Structures are given as structure tokens and as C-alpha cells.
Structure 1
Amino acid sequence: MCDILHVEWTIVPKTPPQAILRCSSCGDTRPFRSSGRTRLNANGKQLDAWLIYKCIDCDGTWNRPIFERQSVRSLDPVLVEALQASAPGYVAGLEFDQEGLKASAGRIEESEEFELRRRTICASGNRARIVITLALPYPASLRLDRLLASELQLSRSRLKVLFEAGDIRVEPARKDALKRSIRDGTVITLGLRDEAERLATGRAAMGGYQR
């Protein structure tokens, strides 16, 4: 029998990170955003592949390497087909790969806007504990305390007090968990002692408040 409120929050950045590069056309450093298009180039029996980015001001292009000098025979035909078609699902995986983009560009600019989708997994009447599981299809550079403060309507100072008192637990456990960026699979458990605060927080966790 369920004796907790358990919700899942799926957090998705609204836009992919952008590369910060010197634009040869503009003559200055500019953000480059993905065009959503991939490019394949054959050199004999070898292939090169890139994801094409464009300067936000002049549409100058930058080719982000996906791979270079790969034997056609060594590549999965499904991958080759996805590259030829600029398959949206495959391209999205590349676009939101922050580490991969940073390795190629050196400097990136990440989105600060996110979409949060809520799903109630289990809900009891007394809601003695509130459990929130985070699901991140793509990496997101958003601190946990900022996310919780925004969505639960609790101040960051209040979150800190509750965390230090053990009324908020975060798994994987870390002393600085509230200050760290959110990760897929993180579980937050709130055992709030004040009933009014617990009920209000539970409603907020499910999205039951007006911004």
C-alpha cells in the first residue's frame, strides 16, 4: 500500500547549448546554434560526418565533427542512414551532448529555460513523505536548490535548513547535493514535520499551485 507521495519530474532544456566561436564573417565572437542538419562526405571508402552550426547573426557556418575518416564497413548502416536523413532523434542527441560540443568548440552557452513534466507515480492520503525522482533525457546545468525552490515554492535558505536537519535527503548522497547540477535518476525525499508545509509542498510537487 502506498503511504507516500511519489512524483517524477522530467526536465528538458528548451533549446540545445550553443557553441561560442569567432565568426569569420562577423569578425567577432558569436554564438553558433545547430541548424539541425548533418553532412556526410565520402573520401574513397572512408566517411567524414559533421553537424552544421550557424552564426546567430550572419548565418556563417561551423562544421562540428561527429567522426572523421571512418571506414564505411565499420559503421552501422542505421547510423549512416540517420546521418543522411538528418534524423531528428539522432540530431537531438548530438545537440544536447554538452561535453561533446565543449570538446569541439571549447566554449559553450547553455540554455537556462527548461520544460518540466510531472507524473504522479503514487499518492497517499496522509503523504507522510514526498519523494521526487528526476528524469533527464539530456544533461542540464541547473542547480538542485534552484529547481526545488522554483517548483516547490520553498526558499533556498529554507531548503538548506531542511537539508541540514535531515528532513530533505538526496540520493546519491552528497554533503553539497543542493548546490550540484541535477542528474538523471536523482531521488529527493522530503520528510517535512510541519503538516501545513508538507501539504503545500505536496501540492506544488504535483503542480497544484499558481505561479
Structure 2
Amino acid sequence: MSDHVLVRWTIVPRDCPRPVLACPTCGDARPFHPSGKIRLNANGKRLDAWLIYKCDDCDRTWNRPIFERRLATEVPPDELAALRTGDPAFVRRLAFDLPALRRKTSLIVQSDTVEIERVVVGGKTGATGAEIALAVPYPVGLRLDRLLASELDLARNRIAALAGAGRLTVIGGGNALNRPPRDGQIIRLDLVGVEDAPAIVAAAG
């Protein structure tokens, strides 16, 4: 078996998913973006919490329910503290909750612009292959073949050709190249005899 460079790519979308909703001010459907703010109301012993969104065009607000009429004693203390302080990490996790958004609208604009942190975790100089482990903490709207083409500096038809020849395989993925990347997938590149193998391996890391 040929030597492989082992690489971890952490893929993070630059923008949160934006639900498309009817905007009363604009008079038409518009994407709404999360404002980064939370509204928390107390009604006796019960709490209501919303994540606040704004229309992309006019800043009209929309409150997406996080929960309603929940007993304060039923909210985990760390979650309650995050709600009260508007903890940015907690807000970001809520903003990427696609199932919750899909309960409000079927049309969601997802970012196809991502940032990738690469870490080489093993391998040897002069390797003729690469294994890329994907860490995807938040859903992205970019297809895996487009991502690989961009990051490996290859045309998409070259990505398809490598896959068809068994030189590129996705472990844990089926027909994964046509779908967004998923957390835990591994991209294996077996490039023995491929003329531009060193450039591709270098691009992977």
C-alpha cells in the first residue's frame, strides 16, 4: 500500500442559514439572517425564548421560537445561563439548527462559502496519496465535488474521473460527491502513477 498523508479538514460555513419568509414591510418573500440576539421572557414560572432574525433588505425582525411556556425548572442551568447572556457560541448553534428552521419554512438559503482549517496529522514526505478526514460541525450548502475541486485546484470533471477510476473514494458516503460534506467522512486519494500526484497531495495538506 502506498504512503498516505493524513490530513484533517475542519469545514465551517462563513454565514448562517437564512430562512426565506414573507416580509410584511417588503411585501414579498425575503431571506432573514440571525441578528445574534436572543429574547427571553418570563411569565410567572414559565419562560419563552426566541432567536431574533432580521430581513436582509429592511431589517424587519422575526422571532423564531426556541421554546414557549416552558417551566424554568425544566431548562438546564447552562442553557438558561446562555440564554440570559446571549452566549455567542450558543446562539450560533441555534442558528445552524436546520430541522428547527425547516419547521418554519421549506426554503432556506445555505452558505456555499466556507473556511477550512487544515491540520496534517501523519504521513511521510513524498507520499503518493492522501486521506482527508472531514470535520463538519455545522451544515454547509456546498457540494463535496465542488469543495474538493476548489481546495485541490482541480476541475470538477477531473474529480469525477478520479472517482470513476477508483483513485478517489469517499468512506462513509455512497454517492457523496453530489451532496454536501458530512462530519466524519474520509476522502481517500490513491495516486500511485498519477503524474500530478505530488501537487494534489500538497494541495490536500
Question: Who is 1:24 aligned against?
Answer: 24
Which segments of 5 or more consecutive residues in structure 1 lack a partner in the other structure?
A: 207-211
Question: Who is 1:209 aligned against?
Answer: none
Q: Deviations over 1:70-127 (max 9, x none)?
A: 1111111211111111110100001122222222233211112111111111130231
SS of residue matched to 2:148: helix
TM-aligned CA deviation for residue 145 of structure 1: 0.8
Q: Is it true that 1:193 corresponds to 2:192 in the alignment?
A: yes
Q: Is it true that 1:112 corresponds to 2:112 in the alignment?
A: yes
Which segments of 5 or more consecutive residues in structure 2 lack a partner in the other structure?
A: none
Q: 1:58 & 1:177 partners in 2: Cα distance? A: 38
Q: Is it true that 1:164 corresponds to 2:154 in the alignment?
A: no
Q: 1:171 & 1:118 partners in 2: Cα distance? A: 19
TM-aligned CA deviation for residue 159 of structure 1: 1.6
1:46-195 → structure 2 map (5 Å cutoff): 46-174=46-174, 176-195=175-194
Amino acid aligned to 2:59: D
Q: Deviations over 1:136-178 (max 9, x none)?
A: 121112111111111112222222222122111111141x221
Return 98-107 or 23-32, whichever deviates more: 98-107
How many residues are treated as equivalent by the alignment?
204
Relative to structure 1, the CA distance from residue 193 to residue 4 in structure 2 (aligned partners, 3 Å threshold; closer, same or farther) is closer
Q: 2:179 & 2:59 partners in 1: Cα distance? A: 35
The normalised TM-score by structure 2 is: 0.93
- Contact 2:173/2:185, CA 8 A, preserved across alignment: no
Q: 1:22 & 1:173 partners in 2: Cα distance? A: 36
Q: 1:44 & 1:105 partners in 2: Cα distance? A: 31
Return 153-162 or 177-186, whichever deviates more: 153-162
Q: Deviations over 1:57-79 (max 9, x none)?
A: 22211000101111111111211
Question: Who is 2:34 aligned against?
Answer: 34
Question: Who is 1:205 aligned against?
Answer: 204
Q: 1:72 & 1:80 partners in 2: Cα distance? A: 8
Question: Who is 2:11 aligned against?
Answer: 11
Q: 1:105 & 1:48 partners in 2: Cα distance? A: 21
- Contact 1:17/1:111, CA 8 A, preserved across alignment: yes
- Contact 1:11/1:136, CA 8 A, preserved across alignment: yes
Relative to structure 1, the CA distance from residue 124 to residue 195 in structure 2 (aligned partners, 3 Å threshold; closer, same or farther) is farther
Q: 1:194 & 1:100 partners in 2: Cα distance? A: 48
Q: 1:157 & 1:177 partners in 2: Cα distance? A: 15
TM-aligned CA deviation for residue 131 of structure 1: 0.6
- Contact 1:65/1:104, CA 8 A, preserved across alignment: no
The normalised TM-score by structure 1 is: 0.91
Q: 2:56 & 2:173 partners in 1: Cα distance? A: 41
Q: 1:144 & 1:9 partners in 2: Cα distance? A: 13
SS of residue matched to 2:104: helix
Amino acid aligned to 1:50: W
SS of residue matched to 2:196: helix
SS of residue matched to 1:138: coil
